[in-house]
Structure 1
């Protein structure tokens, strides 16, 4: 789903706004959110924003959620696929909604010092090319998940968002928390709809 306009988000009291979801994201595309629960006229949505930084709290969450009025959401379509990352097996598997694997690929993950967050589910929220990161052919698949070991483990100012990047040698503990895929794998992920859930398991 996307938001119709810049939308205030609320905590469980549904009274005091705690943040705002912009109608467009940094590449200028509609901002994608994923509803996970409803209560009356409200929807609890996963967002791509931080609630806390690791420097502020040792247990800063990798994924956050907040309440928005359901009328502020726009339906995009069905999400027939899921992504499951196994850190132990170092695999990325695309499944259907029943958990049946469609395809599986090797994946490079974070180091012990800058690990990929585990035990969490986020979603694909944006795609873009980035010459500054030598990503000129295969789009970065930006997730809604955040690094948990450091505020900005790989520099920049995006709050440590976890991306899925192309890398020709995409195996082992090779990143600062992001995920690395070879060409065929990143192309498969690029074909999935934005909003597709991405689950990271140990």
Structure 2
């Protein structure tokens, strides 16, 4: 699809995801950070064993880099594993994100996303006054991390900044080997499955990782017709910009006439029926790539 982008807030946000795409300048930062802890969502640690939440005033919060889809924030926690369960939240207001030490904020989670809609937040684990959440930003670029970077990141956020939403009852499983996209129930039953086009060997779809449905919008200029593009929080782990430009290497599920085989720059191509099925799932639905 054409590689260009113009933003609007009325459903036509020209985010380029024919092959891992949203064409806007990426922010850059340090590339340090430890791997995220075990990611099974469970109530753990009481307030007495988890560190207290440090105060972050309004000026300090505003000065932090926003952990948006195109950002690279070294203090985030890289995630290179799958996640089996999670909870969905919205932010009551902009909130600070913390790395492992939970003492010094590394980024800001904005309460509204790039379309001006409430930001969907996916929580993995609760500890005292904290929630470990997935973020839409990168921790490092592949070009600065030996050719491979985490496709997903996480961070700690003060739990008081979150407002819980309904938890999705299904999740999405993308099989790059079988070239399929399946909708799987909470009991592990496959309710629907569709053929899919996945990344080539040069621009692979990242595997062994879980993200979430971050946002969706319609943008016919990207060659996806009137089928909503399903944007995930995942990024290319092998290339800074698989589709060229400066779009953050995002992975989306979207319509394309060639919806089978290893044919994309990292995104996942689906038929109209496949896109409609994913579009019916709530934002925050987990997306695992195998």
Taking structure 1 as the reference length, the TM-score comes to: 0.96
- Give the length in aligned residue pairs: 201
Residue in 2 that maps onto 1:2: 90
Q: What SS does the aligned partner of 2:226 have? A: strand
CA displacement, residues 94-128 of structure 1 (integer Å, 9 cap, x when unaligned):
01112110000001000000000000011101001
- Aligned positions of 1:1-202 closer than 5 A: 1-58=89-146, 59-201=148-290
Deviation, structure 1 residue 24: 1.1
- With over 3 angstroms needed to count, the CA separation of the structure-2 counterparts of 1:129 and 1:164, relative to structure 1, is same
Q: What SS does the aligned partner of 2:277 have? A: helix
Deviation, structure 1 residue 55: 1.1
Segments of structure 2 that go 5 or more residues without pairing to the other structure are: 1-88
Q: Equivalents in 2 of 1:86, 1:33: separation in Å?
A: 24
C-alpha RMSD over aligned residues: 1.1
Normalized per residue, which structure has more strand?
1
Q: Which moved more, 1:129-138 or 1:9-18?
A: 129-138
Structure 1's consecutive aligned runs of 4 or more residues displaced over 6 angstroms after TM superposition are none
Q: Equivalents in 2 of 1:134, 1:76: separation in Å?
A: 33
Deviation, structure 1 residue 60: 1.2
Segments of structure 1 that go 5 or more residues without pairing to the other structure are: none
Q: What SS does the aligned partner of 1:135 have? A: coil
Deviation, structure 1 residue 135: 2.8
CA displacement, residues 148-193 of structure 1 (integer Å, 9 cap, x when unaligned):
1111111343311101110123000111000000000000000000
Q: Equivalents in 1 of 2:255, 2:121: separation in Å?
A: 24
Q: Equivalents in 2 of 1:3, 1:132: separation in Å?
A: 31
Q: Equivalents in 1 of 2:245, 2:93: separation in Å?
A: 27
Q: Equivalents in 2 of 1:138, 1:125: separation in Å?
A: 16
Q: Equivalents in 2 of 1:105, 1:51: separation in Å?
A: 31
- Structure 1 or 2, whichever has the larger Rg, is 2
